[in-house]
Chains A and B, each alone.
Chain A
C-alpha cells in the first residue's frame, strides 16, 4: 500500500498568492516521523521540516507553515505570499518503525510561481 500520497502533481500560482501542498500518509504505527523536502530546479533536495507523531502542534517558519492532523493522516504545507524562488518540486516523506529507517517519499508536487 502506498505510504505517502501527494495528489497534486502540478500547481501554478501567481506571485504573492498563498498555496497549500497536500500530503496524506498511511501507517499503523503510533510512532512515526514526517518530513518535507524541497527540490529546486538545481536538483539538490533540501530538508525543510521533521515532525514526530506525538507533536501535533502546527509550525510556522517565516512564510512556511505546516498543518499536522493525525485525525485525517495529513501533513499539509502552506506557503504564504509565494515568491518565484519557491518554484520547485516538494516532497513529503514518512518514516515509521515498520520501514526500519527507510523513508517513503511521495511522488512530489511541482510548484510554479508565476511572476
Chain B
C-alpha cells in the first residue's frame, strides 16, 4: 500500500517568508509525528498528533512553528518568518496505536528539504 508522502520534496525560501509543509500519512494510521533533522544530525521531535486528542507540541522550537491535522489525516507544518537556522529536512511519520494508547513503530515519509537563504 501507499506509504507516507510529503510535499514538496524540496523547498527553497527567503529568510522571513512563511512556508507550509504537507504530510499525508498511511491510511488508517491514527498517530502522526513531525521531526526535524539537521545535516548529519539525529531526529529532533517537533509535534505529535493522536486521533482527536490535543497535540503534543512540546518539541516545537519557537512560536514561529505550528502544525495542524485536518480530519485526522493530512497534516501541515507551518513555519512563519523563516530563519536560516530553520534549514533542515523535515520528516513526517505515522503509526498505528495500540488499545492502551501506545504507539507502534513509525513509518517515515521521504522528507522535505527546506533551505532558507
Q: Which residues of A contact B (CB under 8 A)?
A: 33, 35, 37, 43-47, 50, 91, 95, 97, 100-108
Contact = CB atoms under 8 A, between A and B. Distances in A.
Interface string B40-73: 0111010010100000101100000000000000
A35 B43 CA distance: 14
Contact of A33 (B42, B101, B102, B108): B102
Interface of B: 31, 33, 41-43, 45, 48, 50, 56, 58-59, 89, 91, 93, 95, 97, 101-111
Given A43-B111, A44-B108, A44-B111, A102 B31 contact: no
Contact of B91 (A45, A97, A107): A45
A26 B109 CA distance: 27
Given A97-B102, A101-B103, A108-B42, A43 B89 contact: yes
B47 to A, nearest CB: 10
A43 B9 CA distance: 11
Given A101-B50, A102-B48, A107-B41, A50 B110 contact: no
Nearest to B3: A44
Q: Output the residue of A103, A107, A108 with the most chain B CB within 10 A.
A: A103
B105 A35 contact: yes
Nearest to B91: A45
Q: Output the residue of A45, A105, A107, A108 with the most chain B CB within 10 A.
A: A45
A50 B103 contact: no
A45 B108 contact: yes
Contacts of B56: 100-102
Contacts of A91: 42-43
Contacts of B89: 43
Contacts of B50: 101
B50 to A, nearest CB: 6
A101 B105 CA distance: 10
Contacts of B105: 35, 47, 50
5 contacts: A47-B105, A103-B103, A105-B43, A107-B42, A108-B42
